Amino acid sequence: MSRRILIAGNWKMNCLQADGTALAADLASRMKSGSVKCDMLVCPPFTLLKGVLDAVAGSGIAVGGQDCHAAEKGAHTGDTSAWMLKDLGCAAVIVGHSERRTNHAETDAVVKAKAEAALAAGLMVIVCIGETLDERDAGKTLEVNRTQVQGSLPDGATAENTVIAYEPVWAIGTGRTATPDQAQEVHAAIRSELRGKLGEAAANGMRILYGGSMNAKNAADLLSQADIDGGLIGGAALKADDFWTIAQSCP
Ligand code: PEP
């Protein structure tokens, strides 16, 4: 089954309005004058969502949040709901990023609840999973990722509404990328777990992104792997040239 590559940028807590909207406008103008063979998504911080949505309007670049609360509304000071993201014009949201799992003690159950809220609000959800270096060194990589798939995947997940991002924690922001073979091994294991959980068709259709120091130099090799269906990109998504080169590396 052919899966359309998704190149998604996670801007994390970076950019003020001027540089954020300039980056988005730069990407939008490249999209309008060039062509890419993939879906494009940028996930700026909450404060920049409106400006970025305006800057990429009509370009084909979708915009998403980096997190959402599991509830629709209520007494959750400082939080943002999936419905609010949808209302603003977002198409997607990332949940379960390892920085959220670590810094905010988010468990698989919390991530699953957030992912289900995203689906209920009509957003596509990107569910992040990945092992730590200790877990890899202990030979637990596949087990950890399978467990996170079982625990974090939302009920109601389909190939259309859900994307998995495999992000080995030891590769995020470190400049240390999983080799294409290392990444492919885990992606294949994730797809096999999806097969057991969702059935053949959904598993074959669901996109599994790689994330962890993907850059303009290593993207083509990673994206050529059979089960790597795109990238979730942090640092390199903050430079239009690099992000655009990654998008143009799609097979
Ligand atoms: C990320 O934050 O999702 C990520 C993959 O970051 P980086 O590309 O900087 O490793």
Asked whether residue 36 is domain-assigned, the answer is: yes
Catalytic residue chosen out of the listed positions 131, 167, 187, 193:
167
Asked whether 177 lines ligand 1 (CB < 6 A), one says no
CA-atom Rg of the chain in angstroms: 17
Asked whether residue 93 is domain-assigned, the answer is: yes
Structure tokens at 141: 């990589």
Mean pLDDT of the chain, nearest integer:
97
Could you tell me what percent of the chain has a pLDDT over 90? 96
Asked whether residue 49 is domain-assigned, the answer is: yes
Asked whether residue 1 is domain-assigned, the answer is: no
Q: Which residue's CA lies nearest to atom 3 of ligand 1? A: 234
Atom of ligand 1 nearest to the CA of 215: 8
Strand partners, 210: 166, 231
Atom of ligand 1 nearest to the CA of 165: 3
Q: Is 193 a catalytic residue?
A: no
Interatomic CA distance for residues 66 and 42, integer angstroms: 10
Q: Which residue's CA lies nearest to atom 2 of ligand 1? A: 234
Q: Collapsing DSSP states into helix, strand and coil, what is residue 94?
A: strand
pLDDT surpassing 90 at residue 6: yes
pLDDT surpassing 80 at residue 250: yes
> What CATH number is associated with residue 54?
3.20.20.70
Atom of ligand 1 nearest to the CA of 174: 10
Work out the average pLDDT over 219-234: 98
pLDDT surpassing 90 at residue 171: yes
How many structural domains are present in the chain? 1
Tell me, what's the pLDDT at 35?
81
Interatomic CA distance for residues 98 and 131, integer angstroms: 9
Asked whether residue 107 is domain-assigned, the answer is: yes
- Region of 190 (left: φ > 0; alpha: ψ -120 to 50; beta: rest) is alpha
pTM given for the model: 0.98
Tell me, what's the pLDDT at 34?
80
Confidence of residue 251 (pLDDT cuts 50, 70, 90): confident
Tell me, what's the pLDDT at 2?
85
Q: Which of 7, 10, 12, 163 to mutate to test ligand 1, by most ligand atoms within 8 A of the CB atom?
A: 10
Work out the average pLDDT over 187-191: 98
Confidence of residue 239 (pLDDT cuts 50, 70, 90): very high
Strands (E), 158-229: 162-166, 207-210
Q: Which residue's CA lies nearest to atom 7 of ligand 1? A: 234
Q: Which residue's CA lies nearest to atom 4 of ligand 1? A: 234
Atom of ligand 1 nearest to the CA of 235: 9
Specify the range with the lowest mean pLDDT, choosing from 34-38, 68-72, 102-106, 140-144: 34-38
Asked whether residue 71 is domain-assigned, the answer is: yes
Asked whether 10 lines ligand 1 (CB < 6 A), one says yes
Strands (E), 11-123: 39-43, 61-65, 92-95
Domain ranges, residue 183? 6-248
Q: Which residue's CA lies nearest to atom 1 of ligand 1? A: 234
For 8, other C-beta atoms within 10 Å of its C-beta total 26
Q: Is 104 a catalytic residue?
A: no
Asked whether residue 121 is domain-assigned, the answer is: yes
pLDDT surpassing 80 at residue 1: no
Specify the range with the lowest mean pLDDT, choosing from 9-13, 27-31, 33-37, 217-221: 33-37
